[in-house]
Amino acid sequence: MKSAPRVGPLSHARYEALHVLVRVEQQGAFADIALEHALDKARLDPRDMGLCTEIVYGTLRWRRYLDWRLVAHLDRPLAKLDPWVRALLRLSAYQLLFLDRVPHWAAVDEAVSLARLKARKPGPAEFVNAVLRALTRAPTPPPSPADPVQALAIRFAYPDWIAARWIDRYGLAEAEALMSAMNERPPVSIRANTLRTSRELLARRVRDEELAETRPTALSPDGLIVERGTVGAWAAFADGWCTIQDEASMLIPRLLDPQPDELVADTCAAPGTKATQIAELMRDRGRVIAMDPQAARLKLVGRAAARLGIGIIEAHAGGVATLAPRWAGRCDRALVDAPCSNLGVLRRNPDVKWRRGADDLARMPAKQREILGAAASLVKAGGRLVYATCSLEPEETEQVVHAFLAAHPDWAVDTPLDFPVPPDEAGFVRCVPHRHRTDGFSAIRLIRSPRA
């Protein structure tokens, strides 16, 4: 019996990436969760973990462009291929077109070896070899479509419906800048736990202990961009000196502006990144009511609080509409970090591009309005509420808030003064990737009338 081809260390990284990509496309798995599970199980060394991660996210990020380049060398529709063959061609094309550390011939050989390992018969391996070698010999990409929406969507690897709505809203040049920024590899940023340290002391500790290079974030006073280093392996992380968090996300609790000794509700709290920041801003004095309908994810809030040395967070499983009567009219402040399309965080979750459709933007606002209304019932007269989403789409931002304000005359926009990102005319703080080099976030602060 012929033995299976040996999988070398680089192939092992690609083998795991291949299985993650198939799971994402065929089973609807979330890329970040599927990748985390695969890496935990495979126990790759740090170099191969990095390669696997790069291949998975890069392939998902550029999928439509890769398909466009591959189709020119296929003798059958891409959709007709076996899922694993399609994924193998895509991840190999990503390496050939976007990565340069491995020679093209070696990348093609690795793909052929994986095809032999997967199929145990010559046909798929010969097919993969022929397509990839044709791709490496192609001097230029195929002609772009004449339609400007399709041309931009292919060039930056987006569905037509996203490209069309962004061109309509921002204009062609700014839509291109936004798409380009959303395709960038996001930096790793961390928030200093101000209960235990400062940004400056944290930077000094990780420099001395881990030889890690960092620089201060431009907008958040507590953040650092990690230029080099693996945060999860740091002693400073284990000791609760920091939390991994995007800079735009760090601004949301600061917009809420919680104070020590207050009662504050975080109505969509899991996994606890913003709830713990709220507690830090409160100097761990008062109470933070952390709610989330997903009990399993809510456990992450407790773990994060324990690591950071925070004692004021109370976790309560359930949706805010169910739990609100317990604290109705008692909270000084409430945060609604609403579930949304996630179209503002495509650089971190590129699979969302292929998971969402225009109908999602028609469906989600009803749930967002329900959560906002229930959260508002928690807040006492004169109290404040922040509504935030990791989306820039009007259906999930201003339209939700405008509908809420029309139905609740005792609430008004509470525009902050001297905020790092100035609010727009509607009162929204918007972090936009191509302008602020952060994830895309929209947030607005509201205030309840003292006479409510």
pLDDT of residue 65: 97
Band of pLDDT at residue 8, cut at 50, 70 and 90: very low
What is the CATH superfamily name and number for domain 247-448?
Vaccinia Virus protein VP39 (3.40.50.150)
Q: Is 1.10.940.10 the CATH classification of the domain at 9-137?
A: yes
Is residue 138's pLDDT more than 90?
no
- Let me know if 390 is a catalytic residue: yes
**List of residues 6+ apart from 171 with CB closer than 8 A:** none
pLDDT tens for 65-74 read 999 999 999 9
What is the overall mean pLDDT for the chain? 94
Is residue 6's pLDDT more than 70?
no
pLDDT tens for 200-255 read 999 999 999 999 999 999 999 999 999 988 899 999 999 999 999 999 999 999 99
Half-sphere exposure of 113 (CA within 13 A, CB side): 18
pLDDT of residue 117: 87
Q: Is 3.40.190.10 the CATH classification of the domain at 188-244?
A: no
Let me know if the fold of 188-244 is the same as that of 247-448: no
pLDDT tens for 98-122 read 998 888 988 899 999 999 988 777 7
Q: Any idea where the domains of the chain sit in the sequence?
A: 9-137, 148-182, 188-244, 247-448
pLDDT tens for 363-401 read 999 999 999 999 999 999 999 999 999 999 999 999 999
pLDDT of residue 261: 98
Query: Checking phi first, is residue 229 left (phi over 0); if not, alpha (psi -120 to 50) or beta?
Result: left
Checking DSSP bridges between strand 313-317 and strand 286-292, what pairing results, if any? Answer: parallel
**List of residues 6+ apart from 414 with CB closer than 8 A:** 384, 427, 445, 446, 447
Give the residue among 81, 92, 89, 22 at the shortest CA–CA distance from 55. Answer: 92
> Over pLDDT 70: what percentage of the chain?
97
pLDDT of residue 4: 36
pLDDT tens for 166-201 read 999 999 999 999 999 999 999 999 999 999 999 999
| Torsion on CA atoms 324, 382, 253, 321, rounded to nearest 10 | 10
* Rounded-to-integer distance, Cα 398 and Cα 442, Å: 9
- Quickly list H helices, 4-121: 9-27, 31-42, 46-61, 63-71, 83-98, 104-119
> Over pLDDT 90: what percentage of the chain?
87
User: Is 352 within 8 Å of 396 (Cβ atoms)?
Assistant: no
Catalytic-role residue among 268, 340, 390, 431: 390
pLDDT of residue 452: 65
Give the residue among 247, 308, 219, 237 at the shortest CA–CA distance from 272. Answer: 308
